[in-house]
Structure 1
Amino acid sequence: MELHELESAWKTLDAQVAQQDVELKQLRTQNLRMRMRGKLMRASFGQWAQLGIGLLFALWGGSYWFDHLGTPHLVAYGLAVHAYGIALLATAVVMLLHLAAVDYAQPVADVQQRLLTLRRTRIRSERVCWIVGAVVWVPIMMIALRTIGLDAWLANPAWVLGNLAAAVAIAAAAAWVMWRRPAWFAKLSMDGPLAEVERQLADISELRA
């Protein structure tokens, strides 16, 4: 074989290897994108579940305070549960909208920006749900006690106020931990499918680099 023929064959082989490498990277990127889509679908299932729970709480709390108009402490119980249900509903709807806005066909940088917005929204939503949830168990417990014939406020107001004070203290402690350890809380909030999506997107960035 002549030297120029050898050089030509080598260049052809080199081009084929390079093309195969590009194709393998593309296939791996497509596979990662499909897995990302699956992980985000799993995350959306959790938000749909939260939406349903929020709707139940909102309806339950709303009907409770409306049915007990004229009894201030019962109205307060119902309003608290109603507000918690609305908070769950609102945060779930916002998260679902952000999840739906992630377009896997867009460039990686755009997807990263969408996920960054999703991350911030998720952390803020978790803060709201944690802090409000730390307090709302008190009215839920009072409503439950009344269903078995015990009106705790009429029987022992100090006990109700003591439980409420403890709930507020727990909520304040949770807020303090979130403020003092934002990285830990962010990791906790993004655990599960969303964390896996972030790792897979980092893998795609490495492939493209």
Structure 2
Amino acid sequence: MELDELKATWQALDRKLQQSNAIQLQLFKDGRMKNMRAGLRPLFWGQIVQILFGVATVLIGIAFWSQNRDAAHLFCTGLILHIYGVLTIIAAGFTLGRIRIIDYAAPVLSIQKQLASVRRAYVGSGIVVGYSWWFLWIPFAVVVFDFLGVDIVTVAPGFVLLSIVIGIVGLLAMWGFHGWASSSRRGKFAQRYAENLSGGSLRRAQRVLDEVKRFETE
């Protein structure tokens, strides 16, 4: 009977210890998840700014092509800005959508997958929207010069052509470097490069998840 009572006591103590550990883990996780949510706010607001930029670009593009229907090169310039603005809004909206569906109450593994989805959306849209600036600055320049009363395409076609050539060379060089740096053969350099692409907010969020995961295994 004494042995049975001793076993029951140990089992009760073990349950209390497990409950205590579970409570400590949940409190630790809740605190870190709050930090993670706060750490992602700069990324969230960055996408809001990108959407506002996209809206402004769309409005500029519409105003420009609607006023230059008789000049093909100016009409196309406005149309390019219009399309670019829409794509910018879509890219930012997709990233925002990935951020908003993160379930901070889910298991760490699930949150890691959701964060990876945010990272893919952010990096992918950043590459598409960012790399296109090798060419997109040209339509913006055309709009600025037109505002100043100069049709830069007609006055200096050589400048525009040279800018396009430079854009092609620059884009190919950046794309080549991206492929080289992302290769698994680069080892730690590739890992650091991928982390830098994802931005500070996502790196901090991943560190938070790593901390919670380590706490769970200790």
TM-score of the pair, normalised by structure 1:
0.87
Aligned counterpart, 2:196: 188
Q: After the TM superposition, which parts of structure 1 deviate over 6 Å for at least 4 consecutive aligned residues? A: 12-18
Cα distance in 2 for partners of 1:93, 1:107 equals 26
| Equivalent runs, 1:25-40 vs 2, <5 Å | 25-40=25-40
Equivalent in the alignment of 2:58:
58
Contact 1:77 1:142 in 2 (8 A): yes
Q: CA contact under 8 A between 1:138 and 1:167: conserved in structure 2?
A: no
Name the amino acid aligned to 2:169: A
Query: Could you say which residue in structure 2 is the equivalent of 1:85?
Result: 85
How does the TM-score come out when normalised to structure 2?
0.83
Aligned equivalent of 1:94: 94
Residue of structure 1 equivalent to 2:173: 173
* Map of 2:106 onto structure 1: 106
Unmatched 5+ stretches in structure 2: 183-189
* Corresponding residue of 1:43: 43
Shift of the alpha carbon at 1:137?
0.5
Give the deviation of 1:129 after TM superposition.
1.1
Is the CA contact 1:84–1:133 (under 8 Å) kept in the aligned structure 2?
Answer: no
Aligned residues: 204
User: 1:207 and 2:215 equivalent?
Assistant: yes
Amino acid at match of 1:81: L
For residue 161 of structure 1, what is the amino acid of its counterpart?
A: L
2:124 aligned partner, one-letter code:
R
Question: 2: CA distance between counterparts of 1:13 and 1:112?
Answer: 34
Partner SS, residue 102 of structure 1: coil
Q: Which moved more, 1:162-171 or 1:84-93?
A: 162-171
- State the distance in 2 between where 1:138 and 1:190 align: 27
DSSP-derived class of the 2:103 partner: coil
Mapped to 1, the partners of 2:155 and 2:88 lie a distance apart of 32
Distance of 1:155 and 1:135 partners within structure 2: 19
Q: Secondary structure at the match of 1:150?
A: coil
User: Structure 1 regions of 5+ residues with no counterpart?
Assistant: none
Secondary structure at 1:149's aligned position in 2?
coil
- Structure 1's 118 and 89: CA in aligned 2 closer, same or farther, altered over 3 A? same
1: distance between equivalents of 2:146 and 2:45? Answer: 34
Equivalent residue, structure 2, for 1:141: 141
Query: Could you list the per-position Cα deviations for residues 62-101 of structure 1 after superposition, in whole angstroms to 9, with x for gaps in the alignment?
Result: 2211211120111122122222212210110100111111
Amino acid at match of 1:112: Q
Structure 2 CA distance for partners of 1:179 and 1:119, relative to 1, 3 Å: same
Deviation at 1:179, TM superposition (A): 1.6
Aligned identity (percent) is 24
Q: Name the Cα RMSD after superposition.
A: 2.3
